[in-house]
Structure 1
Amino acid sequence: MTIQEIQNEIIEEFSMFEDWEERYQYMIDLGKSLPLIQEQYKTEDNIIKGCQSKVWVHAEMQDDKVVFTADSDAIITKGIIAILIRVFSKQHPKDIIAADTDFIDEIGLKEHLSPTRANGLVSMIKQLKMYAIAYQTQLS
């Protein structure tokens, strides 16, 4: 699936819920299904700066695609990173770099987060794209 197709799928899933209470619960459930980072990668180097809670992200190349794993010590944050990893993992670096993240506004996520979590969301996206840039540079 392309990044856009995955984003459309997420928009559709979130539209099924009546209110934000249900959407938060869905995000928590998504966090539980997150491909977890191995303990050896839970290092200071892999912590996303700018997040209130701890979020670790690890990236590696497999078959010219970036594969992300992550974890967080906060359940909502874990759900947020799970959504981002679902969108960006197993995609080509150039596609990750070029992708927009308008789907976040479409599902209303940013407006329903506290300012510190919203900043954390921006930091997570930035970090995932930085990994993609680094891998794209290696491929060039």
Structure 2
Amino acid sequence: MSSIPEIQNEIVEEFSMFDDWMQRYEYMIELGKSLPLIKEEYKTEDHIIKGCQSKVWVHAELEGDELVFTADSDAIITKGIIAILIRAFSHQKPQDIIDADTKFIDEIGLKEHLSPTRANGLVSMIKQLKLYAVAYQTQLN
């Protein structure tokens, strides 16, 4: 399994292949279609990420010593955003998720090309994934 920095570098490289942001948005939509979808039973208020304009549900569970995320969103761009984050952080150890930086988001230029409400949602998604990691790390200790 690749490390978080390795996956983040892959994502940065993939985004750098596109000349403009329309192509990047299309790529994000494609990534959203490949998102490991959350089970219907987890599409509840408890799993909604607060601070997102659209609905984003995230579920995390521990498989061995790795945290595995599934998610869904009712908006295609948002679904692409959470797909990028899950790709970077799923199947990783909780402590590695906690310690990981998210500068790759700035490197692909994502935050600056989102509306303010979507950018806030992005921050909320990162925060929620890290909170899951903290909760599961506490269980492991």
TM-score with structure 2 setting the length? 0.99
Q: Does 1:113 align with 2:121?
A: no
Q: Which amino acid aligns with 1:43?
A: T
Q: Which amino acid aligns with 1:109?
A: L
Q: 1:57-136, aligned counterparts within 5 Å?
A: 57-136=58-137
Partner of 1:53, secondary structure, is: coil
Residue 28 of structure 1: CA displacement? 0.1
Q: Which amino acid aligns with 1:42?
A: K
Q: Which amino acid aligns with 1:23?
A: R
Aligned to 2:48: 47
Tell me how far apart the structure 2 counterparts of residues 41 and 90 of structure 1 sit (CA, whole Å). 19
Partner of 1:57, secondary structure, is: strand
Aligned to 1:16: 17
Tell me how far apart the structure 2 counterparts of residues 83 and 115 of structure 1 sit (CA, whole Å). 19
Aligned to 1:7: 8
Unaligned runs of 5+ in 2: none
Residue 63 of structure 1: CA displacement? 1.1
Tell me how far apart the structure 2 counterparts of residues 44 and 108 of structure 1 sit (CA, whole Å). 31
Residue 135 of structure 1: CA displacement? 0.3
Unaligned runs of 5+ in 1: none
Q: Which amino acid aligns with 2:15?
A: F
TM-score with structure 1 setting the length? 1.00
Q: Calculate percent identity across the aligned residue pairs.
A: 81
Tell me how far apart the structure 2 counterparts of residues 32 and 54 of structure 1 sit (CA, whole Å). 16
Tell me how far apart the structure 2 counterparts of residues 63 and 80 of structure 1 sit (CA, whole Å). 26
Partner of 2:57, secondary structure, is: strand
Q: How many residues align?
A: 140
Tell me how far apart the structure 2 counterparts of residues 26 and 5 of structure 1 sit (CA, whole Å). 20
Let me know the Cα RMSD of the aligned residues: 0.2
Partner of 2:119, secondary structure, is: helix
